[in-house]
């Protein structure tokens, strides 16, 4: 897979541009990063006539002689729900394709396909009038908000001096006080290369929610993971929260053109898993249409104190979903985000060095990677204040005056002042109000 090198030299400080020129001059011939299997591409093309149908699950019953892990895999009522789903499908001219229990919401989610005799909109409208159905909705598509450049060979690493966030967030000092130690961050994304030297030992949980395909290491998920939690003991980069532990929840897949796609069903399964398995931060570096299933899951995550970050799509007037959700920390890499009614967090997201496939590193841009920075920030705050609520963080973040720095590079967050405001502790020279 060939990717165009489009580094924005005009916005880089002189010393950084010199380093970047030295690194990019040594770009080596590398293996093809296209890990997309043929069946994966076929699966990735979301059928235009598919929809989701939710059936209510019974409240879980706890038995002292049975271990309970939040799973309904052996639930005897599943047979009855499946029978009901088949009956409803027959009644409305649909076909049951797949299903997944989501005990976080006490629902069972069925993927169904509409026949040619009925429009998708009409099928959803009829299903939503049936009292046996909780709700029905489209199977929406989501995409990552990112661009990626050619990978650097291992010999070209040593990129810590080029990490803007290290300078602007004073992370060398911050890490003396907090590293996000043992905070669980759910990276709901494409596959993460857990064997990368910067990520070895950082990913204790790895699950695949893309049906019909094995877990694959992919470009986008690997890049997001490195920004959040790359450990400092290799010659590559250091994550914002190197002490955090990542849940690599593969709900997205890499397309042949290098883009990253997901859908309501795969994302719903992954968010449900993250909630049930006690994630403290959920990173959603993606955007798409407003989605009822994901909205309800995010509501639940927020109610449980989980910090959810989402990438802004600046092409959409509302910033896209999930960034538009009131409980989500909406993150962009540029001041013009298209969301005038919401507090937007701007974080470094232009020509950012991060982890790539085959033990290499990339320069990446986009709100996806700005979102990863904020997820790392949430992990640091979660270590300092484990019970801190998302709403308190939102109210306590101190924004930097735009005249102080170039927002395109440094973002609009005074991180040290925010950390002191939210935790009462400061490891660096905090700016005075």
Active site residue 325: no
Q: From residue 295, give the alpha-carbon distance in Å to each of 132, 291, 316.
A: 21, 6, 18
190 contacts 219 by C-beta, under 8 angstroms:
yes
pLDDT digits (tens, 9 = 90+) for 71-121: 445 566 788 889 999 999 999 999 999 999 999 999 999 999 998 888 899
Kindly report the backbone phi and psi dihedral angles of residue 19, in degrees, each rounded to the nearest multiple of 5, phi listed first: -60, -40
Cα separation, 353 vs 156, in Å, equals 12
Do 308 and 205 share a domain, yes or no?
yes
Domain that holds residue 214: 13-39+143-423
174 and 31 in a single domain? The answer is: yes
Long-range contacts of 89-96 (CB under 8 A, 24+ apart): 92/118, 92/123, 92/126, 92/127, 93/117, 93/118, 93/123, 94/51, 94/53, 94/123
Q: Tell me what pLDDT residue 428 has.
A: 78
Q: Is residue 431 part of a domain?
A: no
Peptide bond into 404 cis (omega under 30): no
Please indicate whether residue 189 is annotated as part of the active site: yes
Q: Which one is catalytic: 175, 196, 220, 373? A: 220
181 and 264 in a single domain? The answer is yes
Helix orientation angle between 367-384 and 219-229, rounded to the nearest 10 degrees:
40
Q: Identify whether residues 246 and 369 lie together within a single domain.
A: yes
Whether residues 23 and 101 fall in one domain: no
Whole-number pLDDT of residue 206: 96
Co-location of 293 and 151 in the same domain? yes
| pLDDT score at 32 | 47
Quick check: is 285 in a domain? yes
For residue 6, being part of any structural domain is answered with no
Active site residue 220: yes
Does 219 share its domain with 250?
yes
278 lies in the same domain as 161: yes
CATH of the domain at 200: 3.40.50.200
pLDDT at position 6 over 50: no
Residue predicted with more confidence, 282 or 40: 282
> Given 285, 324, 359, 368, which residue is catalytic?
368
Among 138, 155, 175, the domain-final residue is 138
The bridge status of strand 245-250 relative to strand 94-102 is: unpaired
pLDDT at 430: 56
Instruction: Please indicate, yes or no, whether residues 110 and 166 belong to a single structural domain of this protein.
Output: no
Domain count, the chain: 2
Please report whether residue 429 resides in a domain: no
**Of 138, 164, 189, at which residue does a domain stop?**
138
Q: Are residues 181 and 308 in the same domain?
A: yes
Same domain, 305 and 409: yes
The dihedral over CA atoms of 330, 331, 334, 340, expressed in degrees to the nearest 10, equals 10
pLDDT at 343: 86
Single out the catalytic residue among 156, 189, 193, 351.
189
Among residues 310, 334, 322, the alpha carbon closest in space to that of 408 is found at 334
| 1 domain-assigned | no
What value, to the nearest 5°, has the Cα angle with vertex 369 and ends 36 and 44? Answer: 25
Answer yes or no: is 184 within a domain: yes
User: 51, 112 in Cβ contact below 8 A?
Assistant: yes
pLDDT at 262 over 90: yes
The DSSP annotation for 190-236 comes to S---TTSTTTTTS--EEEE-STTS-----HHHHHHHHHHH--TTSSS
Q: Are residues 280 and 396 in the same domain?
A: yes
Residues 6+ apart with CB under 8 A from 192: 199, 203, 206, 217, 218, 221, 222, 224, 225, 246, 248, 250
pLDDT, mean over the chain: 83
Query: What is the DSSP code string of 52-77?
Result: EEEEEPPPP---TTS---S--TT-TH
User: Which residue, of 86, 117, 138, is where some domain finishes?
Assistant: 138
Query: Given a cut of 80, is residue 336 above it in pLDDT?
Result: no
Helix (H) or strand (E) holding 96: strand 94-102
- pLDDT-derived band at 213, boundaries 50, 70, 90: confident
Encoded tokens for 308: 């959810």
- Cβ count near 348 (within 10 Å): 25
> Is residue 173 domain-resident?
yes
pLDDT of residue 9: 31
Domain membership of residue 189 (yes or no) is yes
Looking at residue 112, which CATH number applies to its domain?
A: 3.30.70
């Amino acid at each position: 897979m060939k990717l165009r090198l489009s580094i924005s030299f005009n916005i880089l400080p002189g010393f950084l541009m010199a380093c970047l020129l030295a690194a990019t001059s040594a770009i080596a011939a590398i293996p093809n990063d296209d890990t997309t299997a043929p069946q994966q591409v076929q699966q990735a093309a979301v059928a235009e006539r598919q929809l989701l149908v939710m059936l209510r699950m019974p409240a879980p019953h706890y038995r002292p002689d049975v271990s309970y892990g939040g799973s309904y895999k052996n639930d005897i009522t599943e047979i009855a729900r499946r029978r009901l789903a088949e009956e409803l499908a027959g009644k409305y001219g649909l076909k049951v394709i797949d299903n997944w229990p989501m005990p976080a919401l006490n629902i069972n989610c069925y993927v169904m396909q509409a026949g040619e005799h009925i429009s998708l909109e009409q099928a959803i409208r009829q299903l939503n009038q049936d009292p046996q159905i909780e709700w029905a909705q489209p199977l929406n598509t989501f995409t990552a908000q990112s661009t990626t450049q050619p990978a650097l060979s291992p010999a070209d690493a040593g990129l810590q001096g080029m990490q803007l966030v290290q300078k602007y967030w004073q992370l060398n000092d911050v890490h003396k006080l907090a590293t996000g130690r043992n905070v669980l961050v759910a990276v709901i994304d494409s596959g993460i290369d857990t064997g990368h030297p910067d990520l070895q030992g950082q990913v204790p949980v790895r699950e695949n929610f893309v049906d019909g395909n094995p877990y694959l290491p992919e470009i986008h998920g690997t890049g997001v993971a490195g920004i959040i939690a790359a450990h400092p003991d290799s010659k590559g980069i250091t994550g914002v929260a190197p002490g955090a532990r990542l849940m690599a929840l593969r709900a997205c897949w890499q397309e042949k053109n290098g883009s990253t796609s997901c859908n309501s069903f795969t994302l719903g399964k992954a968010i449900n898993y993250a909630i049930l398995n006690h994630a403290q931060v959920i990173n959603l570096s993606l955007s798409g249409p407003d989605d009822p299933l994901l909205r309800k899951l995010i509501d639940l995550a927020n109610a449980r104190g989980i910090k959810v970050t989402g990438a802004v799509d600046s092409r959409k007037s509302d910033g896209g979903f999930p960034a538009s959700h009131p409980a989500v920390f909406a993150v962009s890499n540029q001041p013009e985000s298209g969301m005038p009614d919401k507090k937007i967090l701007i974080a470094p997201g232009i020509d950012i060095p991060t982890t790539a496939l085959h033990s290499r590193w990339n320069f990446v841009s986009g709100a996806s990677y700005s979102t990863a920075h904020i997820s790392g920030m949430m992990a640091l705050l979660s270590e300092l204040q484990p019970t801190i609520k998302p709403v308190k963080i939102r109210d306590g973040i101190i924004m930097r005056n735009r005249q102080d720095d170039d927002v395109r590079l440094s973002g609009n967050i005074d991180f040290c002042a925010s950390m002191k405001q939210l935790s009462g502790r400061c490891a660096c020279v905090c700016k005075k109000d």
